[in-house]
Structure 1
């Protein structure tokens, strides 16, 4: 029988593995939303490419990060945590989508917590 900690670790692992993969894939399709709307105009002006092309690059990074959470949970969760934190800071500094920024900060804390939960368990630490 699984302990409560194992259940929590598995829920977080699959959440922070699958959600970035789905969001990353959607950067190619824009079915969930037009992702380029979340790009701060000042940041978009500094990019050497169109916002849509930048979002495809972001999508690739998110897919890789999600896969890392599934196969190397500790490091993958830290990467997802940092990624979500950077997204939140970008949104906060742009002054737009503050609600999304707050949500992403909460998710960053949860992903960081997953990394800590996995690293204190010797059986899971090899992940």
Structure 2
């Protein structure tokens, strides 16, 4: 049983470490998608910079979050969970990309699961 828990923990750690790093780097290249399309018009109007610049900042945050998952899995997983939840709330409030918002909320549950598995004193 313990080996299964460790396997799941390892899979989640690599998933929630690598995916934010890859998505973060792609904010610089826009190979996977045009990330600016996910920025709601309302948010675009209030940020004091171009959408592309904002998305690069988002990319840096994602890269740091992914690295944090590798270095401190419990803390990093909670950061990724929070980040995914914020993204989902922004998408839902914009009324666009609801499918992506739902996916991000499901991914946030997985990140929370990693945090719980990484807890040195599980409840």
Instruction: Identify unmatched segments of 5+ residues in structure 2.
Output: none
Stretches of 4+ moved more than 3 A in 1? none
Instruction: Tell me, in whole angstroms, the C-alpha distance in 1 between the residues paired with 2:44 and 2:117.
Output: 37
TM-score relative to the length of structure 2: 0.95
Aligned with 1:96: secondary structure?
Answer: coil
Q: After superposition, give the CA deviation of every residue in 1:31-68 in whole Å (9 maximum; x if it has no partner).
A: 00000000010001001000000000000000000000
Write out aligned runs for 1:23-102 (5 A): 23-102=23-102
Q: After superposition, give the CA deviation of every residue in 1:62-96 in whole Å (9 maximum; x if it has no partner).
A: 00000000110000000000000000000001000
Q: Give the superposition deviation at 1:120.
A: 4.5
Aligned with 2:77: secondary structure?
Answer: helix
Structure 1 residues 16, 68: closer, same or farther in 2, change over 3 A? same
Q: Give the superposition deviation at 1:121.
A: 5.8
Instruction: Identify unmatched segments of 5+ residues in structure 1.
Output: 123-127
Aligned with 1:60: secondary structure?
Answer: helix
Aligned equivalent of 2:115: 115
